[in-house]
């Protein structure tokens, strides 16, 4: 593994996407401020905007760092460098995850702080928020996988739509799991066995998606 080349590719994408990350953090801070306003309508509007910001940055990163390299014909230059398929794949997966985790972690921790510190909000919401935040990470991993494997804007857009639909479906079903629904309005944080199972399953799905992507990429004969 040529770690120096992987690092160079990651730094290149970091440099090109630095303003996107900064803008997402600023937008996230605004949405958290809206949620903190104390108004019930503002709470739901801010929550919706927060989810939109996180999903949008993941989708933008996947398209900008992978799909556009094919579309703008810069992939041929990248692959002319002393780099193997494993190093290219590792660089793209790592840079997308690292760049996405910066706003994701900041906004998730901000949401946790609001739930735990803001008056009137039940602390029992925290497990549900953690599950849904991780589901956004699953959706982003799926989008990254599709973008990297297909290098197609059409397939990537389809993955973005599918990921958003899956987020709504998962959110509905998780909220209607009896042991989770019963504790969402509680004053204390309570992790049920079902909630822990869902969270573990989500992280397992992320590992499987990225592992499957690496496997398929290793079978490619030609990147150009």
The answer to whether the beta carbons of residues 198 and 145 sit under 8 Å apart is: no
The DSSP line for 76-108 is: HHHHTSS--HHHHHHHHHHHHHHHHHHHHHHHH
Tokens of 192: 């049920």
Name the one residue in this structure whose structure tokens are 């959706």.
Answer: 139
Hey, is 65 helix, strand or coil? helix
Could you read off the pLDDT of 98-110 as tens digits, one per residue? 999 998 998 889 8
CA separation for the pair 136, 141 (Å, rounded) = 9
Question: What phi-psi label fits residue 122: left (phi over 0), alpha (psi between -120 and 50 degrees) or beta?
Answer: beta
Environment class of 3 (CB within 10 Å of its CB; exposed 0-12, middle 13-18, buried 19+) = exposed
**Where are the extended beta strands (E) located within 11-92?**
none
The answer to whether the beta carbons of residues 103 and 28 sit under 8 Å apart is: yes
Could you read off the pLDDT of 32-89 as tens digits, one per residue? 888 777 666 777 787 788 888 888 888 888 888 888 776 666 665 565 566 677 788 8
Tokens of 50: 């927060």
Question: What phi-psi label fits residue 121: left (phi over 0), alpha (psi between -120 and 50 degrees) or beta?
Answer: beta
Question: In this predicted structure, which of 99-103, 119-123, 142-146, 173-177 has the lowest mean pLDDT?
Answer: 119-123
pTM over 0.75: yes
């Amino acid at each position: 593994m040529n770690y120096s080349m992987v690092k160079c590719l990651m730094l290149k994408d970091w440099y090109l996407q630095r303003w996107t990350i900064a803008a997402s953090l600023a937008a996230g801070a605004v949405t958290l401020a809206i949620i903190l306003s104390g108004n019930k309508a503002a709470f739901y509007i801010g929550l919706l905007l927060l989810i939109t910001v996180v999903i949008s940055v993941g989708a933008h990163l996947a398209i900008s760092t992978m799909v556009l390299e094919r579309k703008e014909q810069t992939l041929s230059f990248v692959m002319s460098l002393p780099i193997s398929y494993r190093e290219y794949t590792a660089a793209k997966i790592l840079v997308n995850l690292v760049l996405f985790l910066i706003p994701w972690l900041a906004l998730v921790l901000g949401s946790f702080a609001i739930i735990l510190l803001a008056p009137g909000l039940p602390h029992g919401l925290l497990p549900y928020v953690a599950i849904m935040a991780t589901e956004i990470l699953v959706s982003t991993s799926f989008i990254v996988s599709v973008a990297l494997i297909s290098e197609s804007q059409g397939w990537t857009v389809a993955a973005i739509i599918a990921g958003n639909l899956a987020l709504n479906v998962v959110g509905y079903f998780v909220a209607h799991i009896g042991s989770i629904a019963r504790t969402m309005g509680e004053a204390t944080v309570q992790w049920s066995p079902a909630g822990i199972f869902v969270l573990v399953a989500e992280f397992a799905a992320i590992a499987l998606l990225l592992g499957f992507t690496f496997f398929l990429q290793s079978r490619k004969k030609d990147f150009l």
